[in-house]
Amino acid sequence: MDERLLTTVLEMGGKSAERVCNSLSMPISDSTLLRLINKAPLPPLDQLKAVGVDDWAYKKRDRYGSILVNLDTGKIVDLLPDREEKSLENWLKKQPEIEVITRDRYHKYVRGATKGAPNALQVTDRWHLLKNLGEAVKRVMIREYSRLSNAIAPKTNSRQSNFPEALPAGKRLPATDGIIKQRFDEMKKLQAKGMSISGISRVLSMNRTTVKKYLSVEVLMRKSYREKGMIESYFNFIKQRMEEVPAIQLNTLWAELREQGYPGAYSTLSEALAYYDIRLGKKKAYKKRPAHKVGKNQIVSTSFRAKVSSQFSPNAFWIPWTWR
């Protein structure tokens, strides 16, 4: 009977197994079923030739252990209480027949595997390998974007393209205005004068990491926006309603937008309108944002986002495809 109950709880878990057993006239609690698991002996380990090691979390960002998996069967063979080098080393020394170890690039796993199984072949697992490869390719593409663009330009279009004034949302195009573009140009000028990254960060009052990121690219790209679900798709309707009812309230506008198919929540709409400086109801009386400080004795007006559309009354807004 215990064997059948053990099989049931292993397949279904405590609560589910309890309900099934009670329906079969075998009253038993989930705690009793779980005790059967704790009392059951562990199955003997098969001969291990290939084993994978990775970390798992008792509590995320707080405490971690190590999990070891038989790569031939896909089954867990052991759990280690931590992810320290010594724990993995001692476990591997008890399994001298292991020939292959897969792991990530965690340095303690590297040293533990090397000391515990010096003759085993260590392999970086596919997921981490592809992740690291993707990150490396992305860095190269960002750094060499201008060279790649120049290389393929003659094949696609021999004439220099002129960017239209009305750019469709979602395209990745070079930034032409905005505070980020102004700062980017200033960074490039200071770099051309031979100033260091630390010096540029002090002059422009910017984080050193941010300066380094922008100096690594030759062309500053615009931000891309998704068309589906974005407030930009409903600007014409918002403009029309504000012209028809200048005193329209935000909750009324949100209800009407929902009827038009807008999927966002009330708070999402409020934040989106605030981002574009579109004020409704009581918010019309709010003052404009103060000027933005770039560096010592340098002041840039809040018109950095884009040219203001004078057609949108009573408040101006920035066109959605401009660089923030």
Helix (H, G, I), strand (E, B) or coil at 307: coil
What's the rounded Cα separation, in Å, for the pair 237 and 251?
15
How do residues 128-168 score in pLDDT, each as one tens digit?
Answer: 888 889 989 988 887 777 677 667 765 444 444 333 344 34
What's the rounded Cα separation, in Å, for the pair 71 and 109?
17
What's the rounded Cα separation, in Å, for the pair 159 and 162?
9
What's the rounded Cα separation, in Å, for the pair 318 and 312?
10
Q: What is the model's pLDDT at position 177?
A: 60
Say if CB 17 and CB 30 are below 8 A apart. yes
Q: What is the model's pLDDT at position 245?
A: 86
CA distances from 144 to 136, 138, 252 (A): 12, 10, 49
Q: What are phi and psi of 173, to 5 degrees?
A: -130, 160
Say if CB 115 and CB 89 are below 8 A apart. yes
Q: What is the model's pLDDT at position 85?
A: 93
The residue behind tokens 């390998």 is 129
Q: What is the model's pLDDT at position 282?
A: 62
Q: What CATH class has 50-128? A: alpha beta
For the chain, list residues with pLDDT below 50.
155-171, 225-229, 287-324
What's the rounded Cα separation, in Å, for the pair 142 and 108?
32
What are the CB-based long-range contacts (under 8 Å, 24+) for 64-70? 66/109, 70/46
* Domains of the chain by residue range: 2-39, 50-128, 178-221, 231-304
What's the rounded Cα separation, in Å, for the pair 299 and 290?
10
CB neighbourhood size of 202 (10 A)? 15
- Tell me which DSSP letter residue 320 carries: T
* pTM for this entry: 0.40
Q: How many helices (H) and strands (E) does the chain have?
A: 13, 7
Q: What is the model's pLDDT at position 146?
A: 67
